[in-house]
Amino acid sequence: MKRNRIISISVAVVVIISLFIVFRGGSSGKENDIIVEVKNGPFEVEIITTGELEAKNSVKILGPSGLRNYHIWQVSILDIIDEGTYVKKGQFVASLDKSELTNKLNEAQIELDKKQSQYTQTQLDTTLQMREARDELINLEYTVVEKQLVVDQSQFEPPATIQKAEIELEKSKRALEQAKENYKIKKQQNIAKMEEVSASLRKERLRVKGMQDLAQNFNILAPEDGMLIYHKNWDGRPIKAGSQIHAWNPIVATLPDLSVMVSQTYVNEVDIRKIKSGQPVKIGLDAFPDKKLTGEVVKVANVGEQRPNSDAKVFQVSVQLDETDGSIRPAMTTSNSIITKSITEALYIPLECLHNQYDSITYVYKKDGLNTYKQEVMIGDANSNEIVILAGLSEGDRIYLSNVQGMEDDNISLIPEMDGKRNLPQEEEEEKLIDGPDFAGTPRKG
């Protein structure tokens, strides 16, 4: 009897050990794998971007206007005060290179001297011409008087002599009248010549005066009080000493209004359809890791652009901060979490837990007691770290964070209600899934 009991106990121990070896055999190599639990709670779909702070409103510090009037298209900055300097109204900000303007001014001065010489020459010529014309009129008047005397003295001469004298008198009178008409015309011509050279002279004088006034504006002064921030060029590089400003956009620097700040960021064309004005944003500052701010999307660009050193098209998105303080400065780098969707309650797991087979079945490695198997899951919205589970798992289920070695060829435990729908046409399958009761917002229990 005692011997039978010992044999029974031994058999039981052998069976227990065998079962332990069987169940533990399949988990060899999994001792070091990380296991996480399926969580249930609020879920936010976020798009993470990097941005740069700038003031929503700012006063532009402009270079001299009117450069294009003198065919000056760009000007170099010789000197500019340090970025971040607080300036008072009228304080020196920057100085520009005058060399091109100086050359043009010298050329204009030479042209002005030529116009002045032409004016003087024309004035002398017209004076001489009018003097000669007046002398001619006087001589013709004397001629008329002389011819009249001849006629008067020929009263007792033969008729032919009298007629000849009268003809000479008439010719001298006609010559005098023509000379008077010519004098008027010549006077008008000379007036027109003087007006022409005078206008040309005035134009050149104004040109020289404009250049001289423009040269005075090559020392840039602050239009208002504020903190100076370098203006960024089209390529994103700040305009500083050695940079050039252009005639059509002569911005040297800005004086930002720090009371309202905006983070300018760029979103990939794949995600831009999810971004809308009014969406909340969580904002972090690289300079102050412990400072957490909030904001909202205020503007989404309609047209994409190609950023430097990038092959992808991106769209500019403006995020306005809800609050600010004295420590926040323009050009600080921000990390923006744009919340595109909020779910009150959902099952979710880390993205690393998901695996795919045949590009159609998504599954996880599920730990159930001593067993581990592949479990199909239906997925929903995702953010940068986690994804919503619509079916296949329940809250508290334990799943592996990575591949489980040795189980790559194991069968997948399929979701029963999905098993008969896999061969449906894609449009019909999507319609059935959307109309199904499990898409009403409540996660399905696996």
What tokens appear for 248 in the block? Answer: 């059509």
Nearest C-alpha neighbor of 442 from the set 394, 370, 373: 394
Task: For 228-252, write each residue's pLDDT tens digit.
Answer: 988 888 777 888 898 999 988 899 9
Residue 118 identity: Q
Where is 350: in which H helix or E strand? Answer: strand 333-350
Domain co-membership, 250 together with 291: no
Among 3-7, 133-137, 266-270, 278-282, the range scoring the smallest mean pLDDT is 3-7
Which tokens belong to 309?
């050193």
Q: Let me know if 26 is exposed, middle or buried by CB neighbors in 10 A (0-12, 13-18, 19+).
A: middle
In angstroms, the CA 117 to CA 114 distance is 5
Using one digit for the tens of pLDDT, what is the confidence trace for 269-322? 888 999 999 999 999 999 898 999 999 999 999 998 887 767 778 999 999 999
Q: Which residues contact 63 (CB under 8 A, 6 or more apart)?
A: 75, 96, 217, 218, 220, 245, 250, 251, 252
pLDDT band for position 9 (cuts 50, 70, 90): low
Please report, for the domain that includes residue 363, its CATH number. 2.40.420.20
In a domain, 21, yes or no: no
- Kindly state whether residues 303 and 287 are assigned to the same domain: yes
- The rounded Cα 347 to chain-centroid distance in angstroms is 41
| Position with higher pLDDT, 84 vs 30 | 84
Q: What is the mean pLDDT of the chain?
A: 84
Same domain, 67 and 85: yes
- What's the mean pLDDT in 431-438? 38
CB 77 within 8 A of CB 61: no
What average pLDDT does this structure show over 117-124? 94
Distance of CA 343 to the CA centre of its chain: 34
Q: If pLDDT is split at 50, 70 and 90, which confidence band does 12 have?
A: low
**129 domain-assigned:** yes
Beta partners for 281?
Answer: 295, 338
- pLDDT at site 431: 40
Domains identified in the chain, total number = 4
Domain assignment present for residue 405? The answer is yes
pLDDT of residue 443: 36
* 296 strand-pairing partners: 280, 320
- Looking at the fold, whether 222 and 82 belong to one and the same domain comes out as yes
CB 320 within 8 A of CB 296: yes
Residue 20 covered by a domain: no
Predicted confidence band of residue 445 (pLDDT cuts 50, 70, 90): very low
In a domain, 444, yes or no: no
* Reported pTM: 0.58
pLDDT band at 3 (very low <50, low <70, confident <90, very high): low
Which CATH number characterizes residue 267's domain? 2.40.30.170
- Neighbouring C-alpha atoms within 13 Å toward the C-beta of 22: 6
Residue 119 and residue 111: Cα distance in Å, rounded? 12
Q: Are residues 392 and 432 in the same domain?
A: yes
Residue with the bigger pLDDT between 308 and 349: it is: 349
pLDDT number for residue 182: 92
Whether residue 294 is found in the same domain as residue 153:
no
- Residues 117 and 210 occupy one common structural domain: yes
pLDDT digits (tens, 9 = 90+) for 37-74: 999 999 999 999 999 998 988 899 999 988 999 999 99
Instruction: Please tell me the distance from the alpha carbon of residue 64 to that of residue 421, in angstroms, as a whole number.
Output: 72
Token pair recorded at residue 356: 């795919």
Residue 358 has pLDDT above 80, yes or no: no
Which pLDDT score is estimated for 314? 92
pLDDT for position 18: 52
Per-residue pLDDT band for 328 (boundaries 50, 70, 90) equals: confident
pLDDT of residue 29: 45
Locus of tokens 């920057």? 94
The region of weakest confidence among 263-267, 281-285, 359-363 is: 359-363
The parent domain of residue 77 ranges over 59-97+218-255
Which of 202, 231, 255 corresponds to the end of one domain? 255
Strand partners, 391: 378
In whole angstroms, what is the distance from residue 138 CA to residue 303 CA? 82
Contact (Cβ atoms closer than 8 angstroms) between residue 44 and residue 388: no
Percent of the residues in the chain that have a pLDDT greater than 70, as a whole number: 85
**Domain at 108, CATH number:** 1.10.287.620
- Average pLDDT on 154-169 reads 88
Each residue of 365-402: pLDDT tens digit? 999 888 999 999 999 998 888 999 999 999 999 999 98
pLDDT per residue as tens digits for the range 193-216: 999 999 999 999 999 999 999 999
Give the amino acid at 2. Answer: K
Phi, psi (rounded to 5 degrees) for 277:
-60, 145
N residues, the chain: 446
d(CA 44, CA 406): 35
Q: Which of 342, 375, 405 is the last residue of a domain?
A: 342
68 with 198, same domain: the answer is no
Residue at a domain's end among 154, 187, 216: 216
Helix (H) or strand (E) run with residue 41 in it:
strand 39-55
CA atoms within 13 A on the CB side of 426: 1
Q: Are residues 210 and 132 in the same domain?
A: yes
- Helices 159-216, 99-153: axis angle to 10 degrees equals 170
Place of tokens 């010992």: 6
* Residue 96 binned pLDDT confidence (cut-offs 50, 70, 90): very high
Q: State residue 408's pLDDT score.
A: 82
* Beta-strand relationship, 244-246 and 361-368: unpaired
Tell me, yes or no, whether 5 lies in a domain. Answer: no
Q: Identify the three-state secondary structure at position 197.
A: helix
**Same-domain pairing of 207 and 117:** yes
User: Measured on CA atoms in the order 82, 84, 86, 91, is the torsion positive or negative?
Assistant: positive
Instruction: Let me know if residue 92 belongs to a domain.
Output: yes
Mean pLDDT for the stretch of residues 428-435: 40
Q: Say if residue 166 is in the same domain as residue 187.
A: yes
Partners of 282 in the β-ladder: 294, 337
Residues 109 and 206 in one domain: yes
Please tell me the predicted confidence (pLDDT) of residue 238: 87
Q: What is the pLDDT of residues 104-118, one digit of tens each?
A: 999 999 999 999 999
Q: How far apart are CA 258 and CA 54, in angstroms?
A: 8
Tokens 């600080």 correspond to what residue?
Answer: 332
Please tell me whether residue 316 adopts helix, strand or coil conformation: strand
Give the C-alpha separation, 437 to 215, whole Å. 77
Q: How far apart are CA 253 and CA 55, in angstroms?
A: 13
Q: Predicted confidence band at 26 (pLDDT cuts at 50, 70, 90)?
A: very low
Residue 3 lies in a domain: no
